[in-house]
Structure 1
Amino acid sequence: MARKKTDAPTDGGQQKKPKKVRWYHQIHQVYKLTVQHDPATRWWLLGSFLGVIALSVGLGFLFNQVVYLIIIGLPFALLTVMFILARRAERVQYGLIDGQPGASRAVLGTIRRGWSFPEDPVLIDPKTQDVVFRGVGRPGVVLITEGPAKRVVRLVEKEEKRMKRILPGVPVTVIQVGHEEGQVPVSKLVRTVQKLKPRLNRAELAEVNKRLQALGQVKLPIPKGIDPMRARPDRKGMR
Structure 2
Amino acid sequence: MSAGTPAPATGRIAQMRQAYRITKNSDPNIGLLLLLWFLVVGGVFAVAMLLLFDRGVLGIILAVVFGILTGILAALIVFGRRAERAAYAQVEGQPGAAASALQMLRRGWIVKPVVAFTKSQDIVHRVVGKPGVILVGEGNPNRVKSLMASEKRKHARIVGESVPIVEVVVGRDEGQVPLPKLNRHLQKMKKAVKPAEQTAIVNKLKALDAMRPAAPMPRGPVPTSMKSARKMMRG
TM value normalised by structure 1: 0.77
Which residue number in structure 2 is paired with residue 38 of structure 1? 27
Root-mean-square deviation (CA, aligned residues, Å) is 3.1
Please say if 1:92 is aligned against 2:81.
Answer: no
Aligned length: 221
Match 1:171 to one of 138, 157, 164: 164
Unaligned 5+ runs, structure 1: 1-16
Task: Give 1:113's aligned amino acid.
Answer: R
Please say if 1:207 is aligned against 2:200.
Answer: yes
Paired residue secondary structure (2:167): strand
Match 1:104 to one of 98, 104, 113: 98
Please say if 1:142 is aligned against 2:134.
Answer: yes
Please say if 1:160 is aligned against 2:149.
Answer: no
Q: What is the distance in 2 between the residues matched to 1:61 and 1:229? A: 48
Give yes or no for contact 1:129–1:223 (8 Å, CA) kept in 2: no
Structure showing greater Rg? 1
How many angstroms does 1:77 deviate by? 0.9
Which residue number in structure 2 is paired with residue 185 of structure 1? 178
Give the % identical residues: 33
Paired residue secondary structure (1:229): coil
Q: What is the distance in 2 between the residues matched to 1:204 and 1:57? A: 50
Which residue number in structure 2 is paired with residue 8 of structure 1? none
Which has the larger displacement, 132-141 or 196-205?
A: 196-205
Match 1:196 to one of 171, 189, 195: 189
Identify the structure with bigger relative contact order (alpha carbons < 8 Å, sequence gap 6+): 2
Which residue number in structure 1 is paired with residue 124 of structure 2? 132
Task: Give 2:177's aligned amino acid.
Answer: V
1:125–1:28: structure 2 CA closer, same or farther, 3 Å change rule? closer
Task: Give 2:23's aligned amino acid.
Answer: T
Task: Give 2:25's aligned amino acid.
Answer: Q
Give yes or no for contact 1:138–1:205 (8 Å, CA) kept in 2: yes
Paired residue secondary structure (1:233): helix
Give yes or no for contact 1:148–1:178 (8 Å, CA) kept in 2: no
Task: Give 1:140's aligned amino acid.
Answer: G
How many angstroms does 1:61 deviate by? 8.1
Paired residue secondary structure (2:222): helix
Deviations 1:121-157 (A, max 9, x none): 222221x311111121232110000024344222211
Q: What is the distance in 2 between the residues matched to 1:57 and 1:137? A: 44
Unaligned 5+ runs, structure 2: none
Q: What is the distance in 2 between the residues matched to 1:38 and 1:58? A: 31
Which residue number in structure 1 is paired with residue 68 of structure 2? 74
Give yes or no for contact 2:101–2:183 (8 Å, CA) kept in 1: yes
TM value normalised by structure 2: 0.79
Residues 217-232 of structure 1 correspond to what in structure 2 (within 5 A)? 217-219=211-213, 222=216, 224-225=218-219, 228-229=221-222, 231=224
Task: Give 1:101's aligned amino acid.
Answer: P
Q: What is the distance in 1 between the residues matched to 2:194 and 2:151? A: 23
